[in-house]
Structure 1
Amino acid sequence: MSKPPLYFIGGPTASGKTAAALALARPHSGVIINADAMQVYRGLPLLTALPSPEEKAEIPHALFEVFDAAERSSAGRWLTLARVAIEETVQAGRTPIVVGGTGMYFGALLGNLAEIPSIPDEVRASATALYDERGHEAFRALLAQRDPESATRIELNDRQRLIRAYEVVSYTGKTLGQWQAASAAHSIEKDFTVHRQLLMPDRAELYARCDARFLRMMELGALEEVRGLAARHLDADLPAMKILGVPELAAHLRGEISLAEAIAKAQQSTRNYAKRQMTWFRNQWGE
């Protein structure tokens, strides 16, 4: 029996993914499933370039605006929701179309994300204290006793990853490699035939699109979106507070920079982000 199709549409921001997804969904009775780490948040429809109400009315959409800005989303949380959305789409006799620019989300569906349980703060603190007390070489030796693969693979002075490997094996009893192998066995490709569509415009054209789109967002009220978010006084380290344009416009609202500076900085941040996305997709999906 042949496996049902699952479509991936990926590419950098402002590359036309929404239009491509709609064009694919129309003849295939598709459901568009979000794979963008910014579009999972509510309250910033302009800055996150959400599909319009008209587009959502025409084609079913899933996993857009599922988290409040005060919440911390993650690839693991998204993966759990995405698997359910894909299954529900197929059960409804429709075609799942996963679209977005967050490479880690696509990788998670393909089994590249180790679904490690949340490590308690006290376990993390204990591992960190042990590293600081024993020093790099002694800590690596301790890790080698419990997870020799990670102790060998992790670069010499990568403190954060060494501590991460130690806390995982200490708390779960499994090494990072064991968790990653278990995740790989759950690749979505076991149950679906995956078709990838990569959108990769010319870089200069893409950057021009990024700049023009941000100006359009400003015309439509992006500053007011950020004003409303800033009024909540949320932790600046929350993912929603790092959405493209939010830090720059928030700095303007605090009187730290002019509006023109904020716009220029946000445009630069967007171009930098697009460049990183292009690199990821070229490396992982090729072109």
Structure 2
Amino acid sequence: MDIERAVLIAGPTASGKSALALSLAEKLDGEIVNADSMQVYREMRVLTARPSEAEEARVPHHLYGVVAADHPLSAGRWAVRAAQAMQEIAGRGRLPILVGGTGLYFRALVEGLSPIPQIPADIRDAARADVAEAGPHAHALLAEADPVLAETIRPSDKQRIARGIEVFRATGRPLSAWQKESPVPLVTGAFARIVLAPERQWLRARIDRRFDLMLAEGALEEARGMAALDLDPALPAMKALGLRPLIRHLAGEISLTEASEAGKRESRAYAKRQETWFRTQMISWNAISAQDLESQMAKILSFIDDLGLTRS
């Protein structure tokens, strides 16, 4: 699918991606598409640092809060929805601006993943139910369906175990065999690829401040709502930064101060992993210092204009 033009913005958590995307969307007549694997869940606006309702009202936002926490959105399924959103935005004569911190989402969209067919919902749900029922023996189920894949997955990784089982049941072919197929990009075109590269200590301070702000804005109440859902702890949504320590606090296991510090540590560790991914997997992207983005706006706009993505 040829989109012709788009801006892609990646970067670690708390680096200012959303603010940059919003500013560019207003300057360039754009619409924003979420590329963050946690901001797709509707139950967690505050905990996942989704744009506020006021920010979403300034320009159209897409793929934020679109699925329930008990329905994981894989990179492949997200990419299909993102490509459709980009096509619709381009069809309106506007500029698609994708923003997020999930490197695998970007890869699925512009590089492609293995061409695995869509898995029917009943097969997917049955596989996940079987994995949950099997408990510690779930890995053996995967070994029967896909012994090659089983060698690469930890017995505790129920999400990937279920994925391997559902693909085999739906297609009659192991996931490990599908993964050997050459990937095909879902979208092509002239894309401005920007990755924010913040200074480490600056980012750590921003992460800590933002977690405090999230607590003030209702993160604890969202955690209470998530705990009440009694979801499988292996679900991706349950791995939202700070969620698990806040649930432990609500259960009386740790103090709010301890939960807050644990949430900040989780966030800092995740940011470090993101930075490693961006540095090693996005080497062709244009790296921009995240400090004082407003002063760099002219440089960013010039870079986008040089690619011919702006229109008079």
User: AA paired with 2:228?
Assistant: A
Work out which of the residue numbers 225, 228, 236 in structure 2 matches 1:228.
225
Aligned length: 266
Where does 1:80-229 land on structure 2 (aligned, <5 Å)?
80-117=80-117, 118=119, 121=127, 128=140, 131=143, 158=152, 172=171, 179-180=178-179, 184-189=183-188, 192-229=189-226
Distance 2:44 2:17 in 1: 18
The 3 A distance-change label for structure 1 pair 131 and 40 is closer
Q: Decide whether the 8 Å contact of 2:141 with 2:165 is kept in 1.
A: no
Work out which of the residue numbers 237, 246, 251 in structure 1 matches 2:248.
251
Q: Decide whether the 8 Å contact of 1:223 with 1:249 is kept in 2.
A: yes
Match of 1:32 in 2: 32
Match of 1:148 in 2: none
User: AA paired with 1:30?
Assistant: G
User: AA paired with 2:263?
Assistant: A
Match of 2:67 in 1: 67
User: AA paired with 1:185?
Assistant: V
The 3 A distance-change label for structure 1 pair 264 and 25 is same
Q: Decide whether the 8 Å contact of 1:35 with 1:102 is kept in 2.
A: yes
Which range is displaced more, 263-272 or 215-224?
215-224
The 3 A distance-change label for structure 1 pair 206 and 168 is same
Distance 1:219 1:46 in 2: 10
Identical amino acids, percent of aligned pairs = 46
User: AA paired with 2:85?
Assistant: A
Distance 1:29 1:73 in 2: 28
Match of 1:41 in 2: 41
User: AA paired with 2:4?
Assistant: P
Distance 2:142 2:34 in 1: 41
Which range is displaced more, 39-48 or 159-168?
159-168
- Structure 1: 5+ residue runs without aligned partners? 133-138, 144-150
Distance 1:185 1:158 in 2: 24
User: AA paired with 1:21?
Assistant: A
| Higher-Rg member (1/2) | 1
1:168 to partner: Cα distance: 5.8
Q: Decide whether the 8 Å contact of 1:29 with 1:94 is kept in 2.
A: yes
Match of 2:281 in 1: 284
User: AA paired with 1:26?
Assistant: E
Match of 1:135 in 2: none
Which range is displaced more, 202-211 or 119-128?
119-128
Distance 1:263 1:31 in 2: 34
Q: Deviations over 1:105-151 (max 9, x none)?
A: 0000023322424476499999945957xxxxxx99xx7xxxxxxx7
The 3 A distance-change label for structure 1 pair 5 and 170 is same
1:173 to partner: Cα distance: 6.1
Q: Decide whether the 8 Å contact of 1:127 with 1:167 is kept in 2.
A: no
Match of 2:266 in 1: 269
1:221 to partner: Cα distance: 1.9
The 3 A distance-change label for structure 1 pair 181 and 194 is farther
CA RMSD of aligned residues (A): 3.3
- Structure 2: 5+ residue runs without aligned partners? 155-159, 288-312
Q: Decide whether the 8 Å contact of 1:9 with 1:197 is kept in 2.
A: yes
User: AA paired with 1:100?
Assistant: G
Distance 2:113 2:5 in 1: 22
